[in-house]
Amino acid sequence: MRIRAAAGLIEFGAGFGGLNRERERKYIPTVPPEFLAKLDSTKDGDGSLLDHSVLLYGSNMSNSNLHDHYPLPNIVVGGGRGKLKGGQHIMCAEHTPQTNLLVTLLDKVDARVDSLGDSTGRIHEL
């Protein structure tokens, strides 16, 4: 899994689709910069809306031809009210469940759960 955390990129696996590197570069998720600029310029209390948000952008399907859900690139954007460590590219161990990311993000927004689906832990680097 790859995660771009606002942050950076978190990666589950070695690539995206694994078949065509040129095609992969075109489809790795990106968040529209205009959207992020709007969030960053919108005042919200002592910071911006981007500072106080947590956005997860990605897919639940890696290679739709094989109906495969591994590897999954994800982008995590926002400051999470200071709870996210930004500017990093996190590469998780092979076959780390994506639900580990979801459990971690739920912790960051004070909605703690013990587990979710096939989760096996948390991503402490985030």
pLDDT tens sequence across 14-49: 444 444 445 544 555 567 788 888 999 999 999 999
113 is a domain residue: no
Pairing of β 72-77 and β 43-44:
unpaired
pLDDT tens digits for range 40-84: 999 999 999 999 999 998 877 777 777 777 778 788 999 999 999
Domain count along the chain: 1
The range of the structural domain enclosing residue 85 comes to 2-93
Q: Please, are residues 2 and 10 in contact by the beta-carbon 8 Å criterion?
A: yes
118 is a domain residue: no
114 is a domain residue: no
108 is a domain residue: no
Which ranges of 83-124 would DSSP assign to H, the alpha helix? 98-108
Q: Which positions ≥6 away from 61 have C-beta within 8 Å?
A: 67, 68, 69, 72
Report yes or no on whether pTM surpasses 0.85: no
